[in-house]
Structure 1
Amino acid sequence: MNISIETKEKDHLTTVDISGEIDAYTAPKLRESLFHLAEKKESVIIINLSEVTYMDSTGLGVFVGVFKNIRSNNGQLRLLGLSNRLMRLFEITGLSTIMDISSKIEGEAK
Structure 2
Amino acid sequence: MLDVQMSNTHSPSDAAFAISHHSLDQHTSVVTPAGELDLTTAPTLKWTLAELIESGHDRLVLDLSAVSFLDSTALGVLVGICKVLAPKGRLALACPHQSVLRTFQITGLDSRFELFETLDSAVDFARGDTAR
Which of 96, 101, 105 in structure 1 is aligned with 2:115?
Answer: 101
Gaps of 5+ in 2: 1-7, 9-15, 122-132
Corresponding position of 2:49: 34
Residues 20-76 of structure 1 show CA distances to partners (whole Å, capped at 9, x for unaligned) of 11111111111111123235667210110000011111111111111111113x100
Gaps of 5+ in 1: none
Aligned length: 106
Corresponding position of 1:92: 106
Higher relative contact order (CA 8 A, sep 6+): 1
Provide runs of 4+ in structure 1 moved above 6 Å.
none
Amino acid at match of 1:30: L
Q: 1:42 to 1:36 in 2, by over 3 A?
A: closer
Which of 29, 34, 59 in structure 2 is aligned with 1:19?
Answer: 34
Whole-Å separation in 2 of the counterparts to 1:18 and 1:42? 17
Offset, 1:81: 3.0
Corresponding position of 2:79: 64
Amino acid at match of 1:83: H
The TM-score with structure 1 as length reference comes to 0.85
Residues 23, 59 of structure 1: 8 Å contact kept: yes
Whole-Å separation in 2 of the counterparts to 1:49 and 1:26? 14
- CA RMSD of the aligned region, Å? 1.8
Residues 39, 69 of structure 1: 8 Å contact kept: no
Greater CA drift, 90-99 or 53-62? 90-99
Residues 19, 32 of structure 2: 8 Å contact kept: yes
* Higher alpha-carbon Rg: 2
